């Protein structure tokens, strides 16, 4: 290429070999690095649906089993308390319970009267919304898998 002044210009470029670059990076940095982007950029649609569906099914299945166990424990505890109350082992002060419930209602009304959300909660909600928007296919697979896990 001719340049003004009569001399030839020598263009040199540095070549970056991406195959070598990715070989030198650990797998966890490729997967979890902050600059790695959303899963929509890394995986195809079928892979995203499978990953979301499997993790959703596992979560739903565990949620169902733990939920049944917790419901059984709480229900059994109330049942035993009612039997103990009926047989006279314990005496329940219903006036004290009613007063505490009214106090709790007043506190709930006070806290829910303001529509302001604390800044840290708002920032976390915004992060979740951004994640869900970037990974809509993965999220859809997770939701479907979660419902299947709850049903199985």
pLDDT greater than 70 at residue 83: yes
- CA dihedral (60, 62, 64, 70) in degrees, to 10, reads -140
| pLDDT reported for residue 2 | 54
Rounded Cα gap, residues 94 and 84, in angstroms: 15
pLDDT greater than 80 at residue 47: yes
Average per-residue pLDDT in the chain?
80
Mean pLDDT value of segment 130-136: 84
Looking at residue 15, what DSSP letter applies? P
């Amino acid at each position: 290429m001719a340049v003004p002044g009569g001399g030839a210009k020598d263009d040199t470029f540095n070549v970056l070999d991406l195959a070598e670059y990715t070989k030198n990076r650990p797998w966890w940095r490729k997967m979890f690095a902050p600059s790695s982007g959303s899963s929509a950029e890394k995986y195809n649609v079928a892979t995203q649906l499978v990953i979301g569906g499997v993790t959703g099914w596992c979560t739903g299945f565990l949620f169902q089993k733990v939920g049944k166990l917790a419901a059984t424990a709480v229900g059994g505890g109330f049942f035993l308390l009612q039997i103990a109350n009926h047989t006279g082992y314990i005496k329940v002060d219903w006036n004290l319970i009613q007063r505490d419930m009214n106090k709790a209602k007043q506190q709930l009304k006070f806290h829910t009267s303001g529509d302001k959300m604390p800044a840290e909660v708002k920032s976390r909600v915004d992060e979740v919304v951004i994640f869900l928007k970037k990974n809509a296919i993965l999220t859809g697979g997770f939701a479907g898998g979660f419902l299947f896990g709850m049903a199985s």
